[in-house]
């Protein structure tokens, strides 16, 4: 028992010194279990290939240039869609959060359209816009925008009224209040919305690529199913998880640490 505690203590020390270790070590038992299951051949190899085969396929597809190209396609689609979602979602959220009239008019519409899931739009979007970037961008924007709007509204509304009053009595004009009080005050919630929105958007993208795609990670996985290549499907799944992990820990988490957590608006 004491040995276990000591080992844990050492791990905590080492991983706080080198964060990279903390992000790799939890995966070791998972991969080991995967390897053990495949090595024991509990399932036929064709149905469940091992980590080594997936890694080999990874190297192979990178070498052929297919994987980098597909990955870039997926990431560009998500980035374009997310950028539009942010550019439209944050102002809309601020408008609904600040104006009672806007809230009254737009809130029911928002809830109605939120219920029509992203994928449910695909059939009609394919008829309107065909199989291309427009369709996929629209699906992603549609998915990303709702969590951003809803969380921005929440953030704007949770700013204490005295914060507005303090800024006004210090001479801030109404337009300046937006930049000086409303936006920073709502920022922690906006980031939460962004995190949810990007997560959903990433999933929607894979679904869209499976259905309408001609490239991308989702297409890679669906194409592999057609060819009966389980190893490529597994590779696609691993890449999805890894990519999201990178987006979250390299982009979203540092922004959160520098804003809400630093200001004491979000508890760690």
Partner 1 sequence: MKSLKVRNLSKTYFDPYAGTKVTAVRDVSLEVPAGEFACIVGPSGCGKTTVLNLVAGFIPATSGEILLDECPVKGPGRDRGVVFQSFALFPWRTVLDNVAFGPKMRGIGKVEREKIAREYLALAKLSEAAGRYPNELSGGMQQRVGVARALANEPDVLLMDEPFASVDAQTRMTLQEELTRIWQQKRPTVLFITHDVAEAVFLGNRVIVLSKGQVLEQISVDLPRPRAWDALNEDDRFKALTGRVLQLVRSA
Residues that bind partner 1 (CB under 8 A): 160, 162-163, 165-173, 176, 180-181, 184-185, 187, 259, 262-265
Task: State the nearest-atom distance from the C-beta of 192 to partner 1, in Å.
Answer: 16
Query: What's the token pair of residue 235?
Result: 């590779």
- CB 262 → partner 1: shortest distance, Å? 6
d(C-alpha 261, C-alpha 268), whole Å: 6
Q: Which is closer to partner 1, CB of 191 or CB of 239?
A: 191
Between 6 and 262, whose beta carbon lies closer to partner 1? 262
In this structure, the chain runs to a length of 268
- Taking alpha carbons only, the member of 187, 180, 208, 206 closest to residue 86 is 187
Closest contact distance (angstroms) between CB of 254 and partner 1 is: 16
The nearer residue to partner 1, 65 or 160, going by C-beta atoms, is 160
Closest to 221 measured CA to CA, from 194, 239, 246: 239
Measured CA to CA, the distance from residue 103 to residue 18 in angstroms comes to: 47
CA distances from 262 to 103, 131, 155, 186 (A): 31, 44, 17, 14
In the complex, least distance from residue 268 CB atom to partner 1, rounded to whole angstroms? 12
Widest distance between CA atoms in the chain: 73
Distance between CA 236 and CA 221 in Å, rounded? 6
Question: In the bound complex, what is the minimum distance in angstroms from residue 249's beta carbon to partner 1?
Answer: 23
Q: Where are the alpha helices (DSSP H) in 116-173?
A: 122-129, 133-157, 161-169
* Closer residue to partner 1 in complex, CB, 122/156: 156
User: Residue for token digits 């009672």?
Assistant: 100
Q: Which is nearer to partner 1, 114 or 259 (CB)?
A: 259
- Minimum distance from CB of 17 to partner 1 (Å)? 25
Give the separation between CA 19 and CA 26, rounded to whole angstroms. Answer: 12
Of 172 and 207, CB closest to partner 1:
172
Minimum distance from residue 252 beta carbon to partner 1 (Å): 18
The answer to whether 152 and 89 are in contact (CB under 8 A) is yes
Nearer to partner 1, 13 or 268 (CB): 268
Residue found under tokens 């979203």: 252
How many Cβ atoms sit within 10 Å of the Cβ of residue 136?
28
């Amino acid at each position: 028992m004491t040995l276990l505690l000591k080992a844990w203590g050492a791990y905590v020390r080492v991983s706080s010194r080198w964060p990279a270790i903390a992000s790799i070590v939890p995966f070791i038992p998972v991969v080991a279990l995967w390897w053990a299951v495949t090595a024991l051949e509990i399932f036929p190899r064709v149905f469940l290939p091992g980590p080594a085969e997936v890694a080999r396929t990874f190297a192979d597809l990178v070498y052929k240039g297919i994987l980098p190209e597909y990955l870039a396609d997926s990431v560009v689609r998500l980035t374009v869609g997310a950028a539009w979602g942010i550019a439209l979602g944050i102002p809309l959220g601020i408008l609904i959060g600040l104006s009672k009239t806007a809230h009254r008019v737009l809130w029911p519409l928002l809830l109605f359209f939120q219920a029509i899931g992203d994928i449910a739009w695909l059939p009609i979007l394919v008829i309107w816009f065909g199989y291309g970037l427009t369709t996929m961008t629209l699906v992603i924007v549609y998915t990303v925008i709702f969590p951003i709007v809803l969380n921005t509204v929440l953030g704007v509304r949770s700013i204490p009224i005295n914060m507005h009053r303090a800024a006004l009595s210090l001479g801030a004009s109404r337009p300046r209040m937006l930049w000086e009080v409303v936006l920073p005050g709502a920022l922690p919630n906006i980031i939460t919305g962004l995190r949810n929105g990007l997560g959903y958007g990433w999933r929607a993208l894979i679904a869209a690529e499976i259905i309408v795609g001609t490239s991308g990670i989702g297409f890679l996985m669906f194409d592999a199913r057609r060819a009966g290549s389980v190893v490529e499907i597994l590779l696609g799944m691993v890449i999805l998880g890894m990519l999201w992990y990178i987006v979250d820990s390299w982009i979203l988490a540092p922004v959160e640490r520098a804003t809400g957590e630093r200001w004491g608006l979000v508890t760690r």
